[in-house]
Structure 1
Amino acid sequence: MSPLLQNSLIVTLILGFALMEYTSRRYRTKVAANASANDTKLELLMFLSLVAIAQPVALLGSNALCTWLMPAQRGAWEGLPWWAAVGVFLVADDMTQYWWHRISHTPLLWPLHRAHHSAKYMSIRVTYRNNFFYYLLMPGLWMAGVLIFLGLGKVYTGYIVVKIAVILGAHCAWAWDEPLYRIKALQPIMWVVERTISTPATHWAHHALTNDDGVGHYKGNFGNLLFFWDVLFGSAHITRRYPAAVGLHDDRLFGDEHWADQMFYPLAQSTREHSALRPGARQYEPPAGAGASQA
Protein backbone atom coordinates (compact mmCIF):
# COMPACT_ATOMS: atom_id res chain seq x y z
CA MET A 1 0.00 0.00 0.00
CA SER A 2 1.37 3.40 -0.99
CA PRO A 3 1.66 6.20 1.60
CA LEU A 4 -0.86 8.24 -0.43
CA LEU A 5 -3.42 5.43 -0.28
CA GLN A 6 -2.69 4.86 3.40
CA ASN A 7 -3.24 8.52 4.29
CA SER A 8 -6.36 8.69 2.11
CA LEU A 9 -7.85 5.70 3.94
CA ILE A 10 -7.01 7.19 7.35
CA VAL A 11 -8.66 10.51 6.45
CA THR A 12 -11.67 8.61 5.12
CA LEU A 13 -11.95 6.66 8.39
CA ILE A 14 -11.82 9.84 10.46
CA LEU A 15 -14.43 11.55 8.30
CA GLY A 16 -16.62 8.44 8.24
CA PHE A 17 -16.73 8.06 12.02
CA ALA A 18 -17.19 11.81 12.44
CA LEU A 19 -20.16 11.63 10.06
CA MET A 20 -21.69 8.79 12.08
CA GLU A 21 -21.27 10.78 15.29
CA TYR A 22 -23.04 13.70 13.64
CA THR A 23 -25.87 11.87 11.85
CA SER A 24 -26.64 9.72 14.90
CA ARG A 25 -26.90 12.99 16.91
CA ARG A 26 -24.47 11.57 19.46
CA TYR A 27 -22.04 14.42 18.81
CA ARG A 28 -24.56 17.11 19.66
CA THR A 29 -26.07 15.39 22.69
CA LYS A 30 -23.00 13.67 24.17
CA VAL A 31 -19.90 15.51 22.94
CA ALA A 32 -20.77 19.14 22.21
CA ALA A 33 -22.92 19.28 25.33
CA ASN A 34 -19.96 18.31 27.55
CA ALA A 35 -16.82 19.52 25.73
CA SER A 36 -15.22 22.82 26.68
CA ALA A 37 -12.72 25.08 24.94
CA ASN A 38 -10.12 23.57 27.26
CA ASP A 39 -10.94 20.11 25.88
CA THR A 40 -10.79 21.30 22.27
CA LYS A 41 -7.35 22.89 22.69
CA LEU A 42 -5.96 19.76 24.33
CA GLU A 43 -7.34 17.38 21.70
CA LEU A 44 -6.39 19.48 18.68
CA LEU A 45 -2.87 20.30 19.85
CA MET A 46 -2.19 16.74 20.98
CA PHE A 47 -3.28 15.33 17.62
CA LEU A 48 -1.09 17.81 15.75
CA SER A 49 1.89 17.18 18.03
CA LEU A 50 1.52 13.42 17.62
CA VAL A 51 1.45 13.63 13.82
CA ALA A 52 4.07 16.35 13.47
CA ILE A 53 6.48 15.57 16.31
CA ALA A 54 6.08 12.43 18.45
CA GLN A 55 5.48 9.88 15.69
CA PRO A 56 8.18 11.21 13.31
CA VAL A 57 10.70 11.45 16.16
CA ALA A 58 10.02 7.83 17.20
CA LEU A 59 10.05 6.39 13.67
CA LEU A 60 12.98 8.42 12.37
CA GLY A 61 14.84 8.12 15.65
CA SER A 62 14.61 4.35 15.68
CA ASN A 63 15.72 4.29 12.03
CA ALA A 64 18.76 6.41 12.92
CA LEU A 65 19.64 4.15 15.85
CA CYS A 66 19.31 1.03 13.70
CA THR A 67 21.45 2.59 10.97
CA TRP A 68 24.11 3.29 13.57
CA LEU A 69 23.93 0.01 15.54
CA MET A 70 23.05 -2.59 12.91
CA PRO A 71 23.34 -1.12 9.40
CA ALA A 72 23.74 -4.53 7.75
CA GLN A 73 20.24 -5.55 8.88
CA ARG A 74 18.41 -2.95 6.81
CA GLY A 75 15.70 -4.80 4.85
CA ALA A 76 16.71 -8.17 6.35
CA TRP A 77 13.09 -9.21 6.97
CA GLU A 78 11.71 -7.94 3.68
CA GLY A 79 10.97 -11.45 2.45
CA LEU A 80 8.85 -12.35 5.47
CA PRO A 81 5.29 -13.49 4.50
CA TRP A 82 2.71 -10.76 5.12
CA TRP A 83 0.86 -12.81 7.72
CA ALA A 84 4.07 -13.40 9.67
CA ALA A 85 4.90 -9.69 9.45
CA VAL A 86 1.43 -8.82 10.79
CA GLY A 87 2.04 -11.22 13.67
CA VAL A 88 5.32 -9.48 14.45
CA PHE A 89 3.59 -6.07 14.49
CA LEU A 90 0.82 -7.37 16.73
CA VAL A 91 3.39 -8.40 19.31
CA ALA A 92 6.01 -5.65 18.91
CA ASP A 93 3.53 -2.79 18.50
CA ASP A 94 0.08 -3.75 19.81
CA MET A 95 1.02 -6.00 22.72
CA THR A 96 3.69 -3.58 23.92
CA GLN A 97 1.08 -0.80 23.73
CA TYR A 98 -1.24 -2.92 25.87
CA TRP A 99 1.44 -3.14 28.56
CA TRP A 100 2.40 0.53 28.17
CA HIS A 101 -1.26 1.42 28.62
CA ARG A 102 -1.58 -0.90 31.58
CA ILE A 103 1.44 0.45 33.47
CA SER A 104 0.25 3.96 32.67
CA HIS A 105 -2.53 3.30 35.16
CA THR A 106 0.03 3.05 37.96
CA PRO A 107 0.84 6.16 40.05
CA LEU A 108 4.23 6.73 38.40
CA LEU A 109 2.99 7.03 34.81
CA TRP A 110 -0.63 8.04 35.41
CA PRO A 111 0.12 11.78 34.87
CA LEU A 112 1.17 10.96 31.28
CA HIS A 113 -2.11 9.18 30.56
CA ARG A 114 -4.56 11.05 32.76
CA ALA A 115 -5.63 13.42 29.98
CA HIS A 116 -7.10 10.51 28.05
CA HIS A 117 -9.55 9.85 30.88
CA SER A 118 -10.41 13.43 31.79
CA ALA A 119 -12.88 13.80 28.89
CA LYS A 120 -16.52 13.65 30.02
CA TYR A 121 -17.55 12.13 26.69
CA MET A 122 -16.55 9.40 24.26
CA SER A 123 -15.69 10.50 20.73
CA ILE A 124 -13.08 10.08 18.05
CA ARG A 125 -11.82 13.39 19.46
CA VAL A 126 -10.58 11.48 22.52
CA THR A 127 -8.61 8.84 20.59
CA TYR A 128 -5.25 10.61 20.74
CA ARG A 129 -5.95 12.77 23.78
CA ASN A 130 -2.91 12.11 25.97
CA ASN A 131 0.16 13.78 27.41
CA PHE A 132 2.78 14.70 24.79
CA PHE A 133 5.41 12.48 26.46
CA TYR A 134 3.01 9.53 26.60
CA TYR A 135 3.46 9.04 22.85
CA LEU A 136 7.06 10.17 22.64
CA LEU A 137 8.00 7.39 25.09
CA MET A 138 5.60 4.73 23.77
CA PRO A 139 7.65 1.56 23.08
CA GLY A 140 5.38 0.42 20.25
CA LEU A 141 6.14 3.47 18.11
CA TRP A 142 9.87 2.90 18.45
CA MET A 143 9.49 -0.82 17.77
CA ALA A 144 7.47 -0.04 14.64
CA GLY A 145 10.39 2.08 13.43
CA VAL A 146 12.76 -0.84 13.97
CA LEU A 147 10.50 -3.18 12.00
CA ILE A 148 10.23 -0.67 9.16
CA PHE A 149 14.04 -0.54 9.09
CA LEU A 150 14.08 -4.33 8.87
CA GLY A 151 11.94 -4.19 5.73
CA LEU A 152 8.34 -4.46 6.94
CA GLY A 153 7.29 -0.96 5.93
CA LYS A 154 4.79 -2.08 3.26
CA VAL A 155 2.98 -4.32 5.73
CA TYR A 156 2.97 -1.53 8.31
CA THR A 157 1.03 0.80 6.00
CA GLY A 158 -1.86 -1.67 5.88
CA TYR A 159 -1.55 -2.74 9.50
CA ILE A 160 -1.77 0.81 10.83
CA VAL A 161 -4.92 1.55 8.78
CA VAL A 162 -6.68 -1.44 10.35
CA LYS A 163 -5.48 -0.47 13.83
CA ILE A 164 -6.66 3.12 13.44
CA ALA A 165 -10.06 1.89 12.22
CA VAL A 166 -10.48 -0.23 15.35
CA ILE A 167 -9.36 2.38 17.87
CA LEU A 168 -11.40 5.16 16.25
CA GLY A 169 -14.41 2.85 16.37
CA ALA A 170 -13.77 2.00 20.02
CA HIS A 171 -13.80 5.69 21.01
CA CYS A 172 -16.54 6.87 18.63
CA ALA A 173 -19.62 8.46 20.21
CA TRP A 174 -21.66 6.26 17.84
CA ALA A 175 -21.45 2.76 19.32
CA TRP A 176 -21.28 0.64 16.17
CA ASP A 177 -21.54 -2.63 18.12
CA GLU A 178 -24.77 -1.76 19.95
CA PRO A 179 -27.26 -2.69 17.19
CA LEU A 180 -25.28 -5.83 16.32
CA TYR A 181 -25.76 -7.27 19.80
CA ARG A 182 -29.53 -7.21 19.23
CA ILE A 183 -29.37 -9.44 16.15
CA LYS A 184 -29.71 -13.03 17.36
CA ALA A 185 -28.02 -14.55 14.30
CA LEU A 186 -24.90 -12.47 15.00
CA GLN A 187 -24.50 -13.55 18.62
CA PRO A 188 -21.80 -16.19 17.93
CA ILE A 189 -19.91 -13.80 15.66
CA MET A 190 -20.07 -10.94 18.18
CA TRP A 191 -18.85 -13.29 20.92
CA VAL A 192 -15.68 -13.77 18.86
CA VAL A 193 -15.42 -10.11 17.79
CA GLU A 194 -15.64 -8.66 21.31
CA ARG A 195 -12.88 -11.01 22.48
CA THR A 196 -10.67 -10.21 19.50
CA ILE A 197 -10.73 -6.45 18.95
CA SER A 198 -11.58 -3.42 21.05
CA THR A 199 -15.24 -2.40 20.74
CA PRO A 200 -17.18 0.57 22.11
CA ALA A 201 -18.75 -1.60 24.83
CA THR A 202 -15.44 -2.89 26.16
CA HIS A 203 -13.45 0.32 25.72
CA TRP A 204 -16.09 2.71 27.06
CA ALA A 205 -16.08 0.58 30.21
CA HIS A 206 -12.39 1.45 30.60
CA HIS A 207 -13.29 5.17 30.56
CA ALA A 208 -16.15 4.80 33.04
CA LEU A 209 -16.57 7.23 35.92
CA THR A 210 -17.39 4.37 38.26
CA ASN A 211 -17.10 0.61 38.62
CA ASP A 212 -20.06 0.47 41.00
CA ASP A 213 -22.62 -0.33 38.29
CA GLY A 214 -20.85 -3.51 37.17
CA VAL A 215 -20.19 -1.99 33.73
CA GLY A 216 -17.18 0.20 34.39
CA HIS A 217 -13.76 -1.41 34.40
CA TYR A 218 -11.10 1.29 34.44
CA LYS A 219 -8.56 -1.12 35.93
CA GLY A 220 -8.74 -3.29 32.81
CA ASN A 221 -9.83 -3.40 29.14
CA PHE A 222 -6.49 -1.88 28.13
CA GLY A 223 -6.37 -3.31 24.58
CA ASN A 224 -5.95 -1.02 21.58
CA LEU A 225 -6.28 -3.03 18.37
CA LEU A 226 -6.59 -6.44 20.00
CA PHE A 227 -8.82 -6.91 23.02
CA PHE A 228 -7.42 -10.44 23.01
CA TRP A 229 -4.52 -9.19 25.14
CA ASP A 230 -7.00 -8.42 27.92
CA VAL A 231 -8.46 -11.90 27.60
CA LEU A 232 -5.00 -13.46 27.61
CA PHE A 233 -3.61 -11.43 30.52
CA GLY A 234 -6.70 -11.48 32.71
CA SER A 235 -7.83 -7.84 32.49
CA ALA A 236 -10.98 -8.33 30.37
CA HIS A 237 -14.48 -7.32 31.46
CA ILE A 238 -17.29 -7.89 28.93
CA THR A 239 -20.88 -6.84 29.63
CA ARG A 240 -22.25 -5.61 26.27
CA ARG A 241 -23.41 -2.53 28.16
CA TYR A 242 -22.17 1.05 28.26
CA PRO A 243 -21.32 3.18 31.29
CA ALA A 244 -23.74 5.94 32.22
CA ALA A 245 -20.88 8.42 32.63
CA VAL A 246 -17.19 8.67 31.77
CA GLY A 247 -14.43 10.90 33.09
CA LEU A 248 -12.66 11.50 36.38
CA HIS A 249 -14.28 11.97 39.76
CA ASP A 250 -11.71 14.51 41.00
CA ASP A 251 -12.35 16.78 38.00
CA ARG A 252 -16.01 16.89 38.96
CA LEU A 253 -15.11 17.88 42.50
CA PHE A 254 -12.26 20.31 41.92
CA GLY A 255 -12.63 21.46 38.30
CA ASP A 256 -10.85 20.50 35.09
CA GLU A 257 -7.09 20.64 34.81
CA HIS A 258 -5.74 23.23 32.35
CA TRP A 259 -5.01 21.80 28.91
CA ALA A 260 -1.33 22.81 29.05
CA ASP A 261 -0.78 21.00 32.36
CA GLN A 262 -2.41 17.86 30.98
CA MET A 263 -0.43 17.98 27.75
CA PHE A 264 3.01 19.07 28.93
CA TYR A 265 3.41 17.67 32.45
CA PRO A 266 6.05 17.58 33.96
CA LEU A 267 7.20 20.71 32.10
CA ALA A 268 3.89 22.34 33.08
CA GLN A 269 2.42 21.53 36.49
CA SER A 270 -0.97 22.02 38.08
CA THR A 271 -1.79 24.32 40.97
CA ARG A 272 -5.12 22.62 41.57
CA GLU A 273 -5.93 21.00 44.88
CA HIS A 274 -5.73 17.19 44.81
CA SER A 275 -3.90 17.06 41.48
CA ALA A 276 -1.81 14.21 40.11
CA LEU A 277 -0.05 16.72 37.85
CA ARG A 278 2.48 17.82 40.46
CA PRO A 279 5.56 15.82 41.47
CA GLY A 280 5.02 14.34 44.91
CA ALA A 281 1.39 15.43 45.06
CA ARG A 282 -1.02 12.96 46.56
CA GLN A 283 -3.55 11.63 44.14
CA TYR A 284 -7.15 12.17 45.11
CA GLU A 285 -8.64 9.14 46.78
CA PRO A 286 -12.45 9.19 46.79
CA PRO A 287 -14.46 7.83 49.69
CA ALA A 288 -15.60 4.21 49.52
CA GLY A 289 -18.43 3.75 47.07
CA ALA A 290 -17.69 6.93 45.12
CA GLY A 291 -16.23 4.82 42.32
CA ALA A 292 -13.79 7.32 40.90
CA SER A 293 -11.76 6.33 37.87
CA GLN A 294 -8.38 6.96 39.42
CA ALA A 295 -5.21 5.08 38.57
Structure 2
Amino acid sequence: MTAYILFAIFLALDIGTGEFNKPRARCLNELGINIASSALGFTLRLLPIVVMGALLQACWPAGKGAWAEVNPWLVVLPMLLVDDYANYWLHRSGHNVPWLWNLHRTHHTPTCMNITMSIRTSALYYLLVPVNALAPLMVYTGAVEAAAITLAIRLTSLYLQHAGYRWDLALRRYAPGRVLLDFAERFLALQDYHHAHHGVGRYGKGSSNYGNLLNVWDKLHGTSMGHPHCVQDAYGLPGGVRVPGWGEQMFWPLVRARRAAPKPVARSTEAELAQARAVIYTADGTAVAVRSGGA
Protein backbone atom coordinates (compact mmCIF):
# COMPACT_ATOMS: atom_id res chain seq x y z
CA MET A 1 0.00 0.00 0.00
CA THR A 2 2.86 2.38 0.84
CA ALA A 3 4.34 2.00 -2.63
CA TYR A 4 1.02 2.85 -4.30
CA ILE A 5 0.56 5.91 -2.08
CA LEU A 6 4.05 7.01 -3.12
CA PHE A 7 3.10 6.47 -6.77
CA ALA A 8 0.04 8.70 -6.31
CA ILE A 9 2.15 11.40 -4.64
CA PHE A 10 4.76 11.45 -7.40
CA LEU A 11 2.07 11.33 -10.08
CA ALA A 12 0.50 14.43 -8.53
CA LEU A 13 3.92 16.13 -8.36
CA ASP A 14 4.70 15.27 -11.98
CA ILE A 15 1.32 16.65 -13.08
CA GLY A 16 1.57 19.71 -10.85
CA THR A 17 5.07 20.63 -11.97
CA GLY A 18 4.24 20.30 -15.68
CA GLU A 19 6.14 17.10 -16.50
CA PHE A 20 3.24 15.94 -18.67
CA ASN A 21 3.12 19.27 -20.51
CA LYS A 22 6.55 18.74 -22.05
CA PRO A 23 6.75 18.03 -25.81
CA ARG A 24 5.72 14.46 -26.68
CA ALA A 25 5.07 13.59 -23.00
CA ARG A 26 1.43 12.65 -23.71
CA CYS A 27 1.85 11.06 -27.15
CA LEU A 28 1.26 7.37 -27.92
CA ASN A 29 4.97 6.58 -28.10
CA GLU A 30 5.53 7.94 -24.59
CA LEU A 31 2.56 8.00 -22.22
CA GLY A 32 0.54 5.50 -24.27
CA ILE A 33 3.24 2.83 -24.17
CA ASN A 34 4.06 3.65 -20.54
CA ILE A 35 0.53 2.77 -19.48
CA ALA A 36 -0.05 -0.11 -21.91
CA SER A 37 3.22 -1.90 -21.20
CA SER A 38 2.78 -1.52 -17.44
CA ALA A 39 -0.68 -3.07 -17.59
CA LEU A 40 0.62 -5.82 -19.86
CA GLY A 41 3.50 -6.48 -17.49
CA PHE A 42 1.30 -7.12 -14.47
CA THR A 43 -0.71 -9.58 -16.59
CA LEU A 44 2.24 -11.40 -18.19
CA ARG A 45 4.02 -11.91 -14.89
CA LEU A 46 1.28 -14.29 -13.86
CA LEU A 47 2.65 -16.83 -16.36
CA PRO A 48 6.14 -17.35 -14.87
CA ILE A 49 4.71 -17.10 -11.34
CA VAL A 50 2.24 -19.93 -12.05
CA VAL A 51 4.95 -22.03 -13.75
CA MET A 52 7.38 -21.48 -10.88
CA GLY A 53 4.70 -22.40 -8.35
CA ALA A 54 3.99 -25.66 -10.19
CA LEU A 55 7.70 -26.50 -10.35
CA LEU A 56 8.13 -25.91 -6.63
CA GLN A 57 5.14 -28.10 -5.86
CA ALA A 58 6.52 -30.90 -8.02
CA CYS A 59 10.20 -30.67 -7.03
CA TRP A 60 10.08 -29.54 -3.40
CA PRO A 61 6.80 -30.60 -1.77
CA ALA A 62 8.40 -30.50 1.70
CA GLY A 63 9.19 -26.82 1.25
CA LYS A 64 5.57 -25.70 1.31
CA GLY A 65 5.17 -23.40 4.32
CA ALA A 66 8.76 -24.07 5.47
CA TRP A 67 9.48 -20.37 6.13
CA ALA A 68 6.11 -19.48 7.62
CA GLU A 69 7.52 -19.00 11.13
CA VAL A 70 10.73 -17.26 10.07
CA ASN A 71 11.09 -13.53 10.85
CA PRO A 72 10.10 -11.80 7.58
CA TRP A 73 13.20 -9.60 7.55
CA LEU A 74 15.45 -12.67 7.65
CA VAL A 75 13.88 -13.58 4.32
CA VAL A 76 13.58 -10.07 2.86
CA LEU A 77 17.23 -9.06 3.20
CA PRO A 78 18.85 -12.04 1.39
CA MET A 79 16.08 -12.09 -1.23
CA LEU A 80 16.60 -8.39 -1.96
CA LEU A 81 20.34 -8.93 -2.38
CA VAL A 82 19.86 -11.90 -4.71
CA ASP A 83 17.15 -10.12 -6.69
CA ASP A 84 19.14 -6.89 -7.00
CA TYR A 85 22.39 -8.55 -8.05
CA ALA A 86 20.58 -10.67 -10.64
CA ASN A 87 18.80 -7.53 -11.87
CA TYR A 88 22.14 -5.75 -12.19
CA TRP A 89 23.41 -8.40 -14.61
CA LEU A 90 20.13 -8.58 -16.51
CA HIS A 91 20.09 -4.79 -16.84
CA ARG A 92 23.74 -4.61 -17.86
CA SER A 93 23.22 -7.40 -20.40
CA GLY A 94 20.21 -5.47 -21.69
CA HIS A 95 22.65 -2.81 -22.86
CA ASN A 96 25.38 -5.10 -24.17
CA VAL A 97 23.66 -8.14 -25.68
CA PRO A 98 21.94 -7.14 -28.96
CA TRP A 99 18.75 -9.22 -28.61
CA LEU A 100 18.32 -8.16 -24.98
CA TRP A 101 18.85 -4.53 -25.99
CA ASN A 102 15.97 -4.91 -28.44
CA LEU A 103 13.81 -5.83 -25.43
CA HIS A 104 15.18 -3.28 -22.97
CA ARG A 105 15.36 -0.42 -25.51
CA THR A 106 11.65 0.22 -24.91
CA HIS A 107 12.48 1.51 -21.43
CA HIS A 108 14.99 4.02 -22.84
CA THR A 109 12.91 5.34 -25.74
CA PRO A 110 10.93 8.05 -23.84
CA THR A 111 12.29 11.58 -24.06
CA CYS A 112 10.41 12.55 -20.89
CA MET A 113 11.04 11.05 -17.46
CA ASN A 114 7.93 10.67 -15.33
CA ILE A 115 6.43 8.23 -12.86
CA THR A 116 4.40 6.34 -15.50
CA MET A 117 7.54 4.95 -17.18
CA SER A 118 8.76 3.24 -13.99
CA ILE A 119 8.08 -0.30 -15.21
CA ARG A 120 7.83 0.38 -18.96
CA THR A 121 9.51 -2.36 -20.99
CA SER A 122 8.72 -4.92 -23.69
CA ALA A 123 6.50 -7.92 -23.09
CA LEU A 124 9.25 -10.55 -23.26
CA TYR A 125 11.55 -8.63 -20.93
CA TYR A 126 8.91 -8.89 -18.21
CA LEU A 127 9.30 -12.67 -18.30
CA LEU A 128 13.04 -12.48 -17.58
CA VAL A 129 13.14 -10.46 -14.36
CA PRO A 130 14.39 -12.42 -11.29
CA VAL A 131 11.43 -11.54 -9.05
CA ASN A 132 9.30 -13.87 -11.18
CA ALA A 133 11.14 -16.76 -9.53
CA LEU A 134 11.79 -15.25 -6.10
CA ALA A 135 8.23 -14.06 -5.37
CA PRO A 136 6.62 -17.51 -5.91
CA LEU A 137 9.40 -19.05 -3.81
CA MET A 138 8.58 -16.77 -0.87
CA VAL A 139 4.84 -17.31 -1.18
CA TYR A 140 5.23 -21.10 -1.54
CA THR A 141 7.39 -21.33 1.56
CA GLY A 142 4.90 -19.31 3.59
CA ALA A 143 6.91 -16.06 3.69
CA VAL A 144 3.97 -14.07 2.33
CA GLU A 145 4.70 -11.00 4.44
CA ALA A 146 8.32 -11.05 3.28
CA ALA A 147 7.15 -11.20 -0.34
CA ALA A 148 4.89 -8.17 0.21
CA ILE A 149 7.71 -6.20 1.85
CA THR A 150 10.13 -7.09 -0.95
CA LEU A 151 7.65 -5.98 -3.61
CA ALA A 152 6.96 -2.72 -1.75
CA ILE A 153 10.67 -1.92 -1.52
CA ARG A 154 11.27 -2.70 -5.19
CA LEU A 155 8.32 -0.57 -6.35
CA THR A 156 9.29 2.29 -4.05
CA SER A 157 12.80 2.26 -5.51
CA LEU A 158 11.44 2.38 -9.07
CA TYR A 159 9.10 5.27 -8.29
CA LEU A 160 11.83 7.28 -6.55
CA GLN A 161 14.16 6.77 -9.53
CA HIS A 162 11.81 7.55 -12.41
CA ALA A 163 9.78 10.49 -11.14
CA GLY A 164 10.17 13.50 -13.42
CA TYR A 165 9.97 15.96 -10.53
CA ARG A 166 13.50 16.22 -9.12
CA TRP A 167 12.68 15.62 -5.47
CA ASP A 168 16.35 14.93 -4.73
CA LEU A 169 17.51 18.33 -5.98
CA ALA A 170 14.70 19.94 -3.98
CA LEU A 171 16.00 18.21 -0.83
CA ARG A 172 19.55 19.30 -1.62
CA ARG A 173 18.56 22.93 -1.21
CA TYR A 174 18.62 22.37 2.55
CA ALA A 175 21.55 21.22 4.69
CA PRO A 176 19.69 18.29 6.36
CA GLY A 177 18.59 17.05 2.95
CA ARG A 178 22.13 17.17 1.60
CA VAL A 179 23.44 15.24 4.60
CA LEU A 180 20.70 12.60 4.21
CA LEU A 181 21.23 12.15 0.48
CA ASP A 182 25.03 12.18 0.70
CA PHE A 183 24.75 9.24 3.08
CA ALA A 184 22.01 7.35 1.20
CA GLU A 185 23.68 7.77 -2.20
CA ARG A 186 26.76 5.94 -0.98
CA PHE A 187 24.94 2.65 -1.46
CA LEU A 188 21.45 3.32 -2.91
CA ALA A 189 20.64 3.95 -6.58
CA LEU A 190 18.37 6.96 -6.18
CA GLN A 191 16.92 9.49 -8.61
CA ASP A 192 20.08 11.34 -9.66
CA TYR A 193 21.97 8.09 -10.19
CA HIS A 194 19.27 6.59 -12.40
CA HIS A 195 18.50 9.80 -14.31
CA ALA A 196 22.18 9.82 -15.31
CA HIS A 197 21.64 6.30 -16.73
CA HIS A 198 18.73 7.57 -18.84
CA GLY A 199 20.34 10.90 -19.67
CA VAL A 200 21.64 11.97 -23.08
CA GLY A 201 24.15 14.81 -23.12
CA ARG A 202 26.84 16.19 -20.85
CA TYR A 203 25.75 14.45 -17.65
CA GLY A 204 24.27 11.17 -18.90
CA LYS A 205 25.79 7.82 -19.77
CA GLY A 206 23.57 4.87 -20.64
CA SER A 207 26.43 2.38 -20.38
CA SER A 208 26.76 2.93 -16.63
CA ASN A 209 24.71 3.10 -13.40
CA TYR A 210 22.93 -0.22 -13.95
CA GLY A 211 22.08 -0.77 -10.27
CA ASN A 212 18.39 -1.16 -9.53
CA LEU A 213 18.17 -0.79 -5.77
CA LEU A 214 21.84 -0.64 -4.78
CA ASN A 215 24.70 1.09 -6.57
CA VAL A 216 27.35 -1.09 -4.91
CA TRP A 217 27.25 -3.57 -7.81
CA ASP A 218 28.30 -0.82 -10.21
CA LYS A 219 31.13 0.16 -7.90
CA LEU A 220 32.18 -3.47 -7.57
CA HIS A 221 32.23 -4.06 -11.34
CA GLY A 222 33.46 -0.63 -12.49
CA THR A 223 30.25 0.56 -14.19
CA SER A 224 29.39 3.51 -11.95
CA MET A 225 29.66 7.08 -13.27
CA GLY A 226 28.59 8.49 -9.91
CA HIS A 227 26.13 11.29 -9.22
CA PRO A 228 26.23 14.46 -11.37
CA HIS A 229 23.64 16.14 -9.06
CA CYS A 230 22.03 18.13 -11.84
CA VAL A 231 19.15 18.07 -14.33
CA GLN A 232 19.97 16.06 -17.44
CA ASP A 233 20.22 17.82 -20.81
CA ALA A 234 17.83 15.34 -22.42
CA TYR A 235 16.52 11.78 -22.22
CA GLY A 236 15.87 9.03 -24.73
CA LEU A 237 17.89 7.08 -27.26
CA PRO A 238 21.22 8.53 -28.45
CA GLY A 239 21.20 10.50 -31.68
CA GLY A 240 21.18 8.32 -34.77
CA VAL A 241 19.54 5.35 -33.04
CA ARG A 242 16.27 4.34 -34.70
CA VAL A 243 13.14 4.80 -32.57
CA PRO A 244 10.90 1.74 -33.12
CA GLY A 245 7.14 1.96 -33.52
CA TRP A 246 4.88 1.10 -30.60
CA GLY A 247 4.24 -2.46 -31.82
CA GLU A 248 7.93 -3.31 -32.05
CA GLN A 249 8.64 -1.66 -28.70
CA MET A 250 6.05 -3.76 -26.92
CA PHE A 251 6.18 -7.05 -28.82
CA TRP A 252 9.64 -7.52 -30.36
CA PRO A 253 10.58 -10.05 -31.79
CA LEU A 254 6.98 -10.89 -32.76
CA VAL A 255 6.70 -7.44 -34.38
CA ARG A 256 9.66 -6.14 -36.36
CA ALA A 257 10.10 -3.17 -38.65
CA ARG A 258 10.94 -3.80 -42.26
CA ARG A 259 14.37 -2.42 -43.03
CA ALA A 260 15.91 -1.66 -46.39
CA ALA A 261 19.00 -3.69 -47.15
CA PRO A 262 22.14 -1.64 -46.41
CA LYS A 263 24.20 -0.51 -49.36
CA PRO A 264 27.52 -2.35 -49.58
CA VAL A 265 30.64 -0.29 -48.87
CA ALA A 266 32.91 -0.03 -51.91
CA ARG A 267 36.36 -1.51 -51.34
CA SER A 268 39.15 0.98 -52.04
CA THR A 269 41.81 0.17 -54.60
CA GLU A 270 45.44 -0.48 -53.65
CA ALA A 271 46.40 2.92 -55.08
CA GLU A 272 43.70 4.67 -53.03
CA LEU A 273 44.81 2.88 -49.87
CA ALA A 274 48.44 3.83 -50.50
CA GLN A 275 47.55 7.53 -50.84
CA ALA A 276 44.97 7.56 -48.08
CA ARG A 277 45.18 9.86 -45.09
CA ALA A 278 43.95 6.92 -43.00
CA VAL A 279 42.37 3.49 -43.53
CA ILE A 280 39.31 2.19 -41.71
CA TYR A 281 37.93 -1.33 -41.75
CA THR A 282 34.26 -2.28 -41.72
CA ALA A 283 32.88 -5.19 -39.70
CA ASP A 284 33.38 -7.57 -42.63
CA GLY A 285 37.01 -6.53 -43.12
CA THR A 286 36.51 -4.17 -46.08
CA ALA A 287 39.36 -1.58 -46.25
CA VAL A 288 38.14 1.95 -46.98
CA ALA A 289 40.49 4.83 -47.73
CA VAL A 290 39.91 8.11 -45.89
CA ARG A 291 40.98 10.95 -48.13
CA SER A 292 42.22 14.33 -46.99
CA GLY A 293 39.85 17.28 -47.03
CA GLY A 294 41.35 18.70 -50.27
CA ALA A 295 41.18 15.47 -52.23
Name the TM-score class by shorter chain. 0.7 to 0.9
Q: Tell me the TM-score normalized by structure 1.
A: 0.81
Aligned counterpart, 2:234: 245
Distance 1:43 1:195, change over 3 A: same
Deviations 1:35-85 (A, max 9, x none): 4223333222211111122x2112222111100111111121223323221
Distance 1:173 1:85, change over 3 A: same
Deviation of the 1:105 alpha carbon: 0.8
CA contact (8 A) 1:112 1:130 kept: yes
1:59 is aligned, of 49, 62, 73, to 49
Deviation of the 1:188 alpha carbon: 3.1
Higher strand share: 2
Describe how 1:89-238 pairs up with structure 2 within 5 A: 89-106=79-96, 107-210=98-201, 213=202, 215-236=203-224, 237-238=226-227
1:262 is aligned, of 236, 249, 255, to 249
Instruction: Look up the equivalent residue of 1:262 and give its one-letter code.
Output: Q
CA contact (8 A) 1:257 1:272 kept: no
Q: Tell me the TM-score normalized by structure 2.
A: 0.81
Superposition CA RMSD, Å: 2.3
CA contact (8 A) 1:203 1:221 kept: yes
Distance 1:92 1:57, change over 3 A: farther
Aligned counterpart, 2:266: none
Instruction: Look up the equivalent residue of 2:77 and give its one-letter code.
Output: G
Alpha-carbon distance in structure 2 between the residues aligned to 1:273 and 1:151: 54
For structure 1, list consecutive stretches of 5 or more residues without a partner in the other structure.
Answer: 1-5, 276-281, 283-295
In percent, how many aligned pairs have the same letter? 26
CA contact (8 A) 1:181 1:240 kept: no
Deviation of the 1:111 alpha carbon: 0.5
Q: Which has the larger radius of gyration?
A: 2
SS at match of 1:173: coil
Aligned counterpart, 2:63: 73
Alpha-carbon distance in structure 2 between the residues aligned to 1:139 and 1:201: 24
SS at match of 1:68: helix
Alpha-carbon distance in structure 2 between the residues aligned to 1:255 and 1:216: 19
For this pair of structures, how many residues does the alignment match? Answer: 261
SS at match of 2:95: coil
Deviation of the 1:144 alpha carbon: 2.3
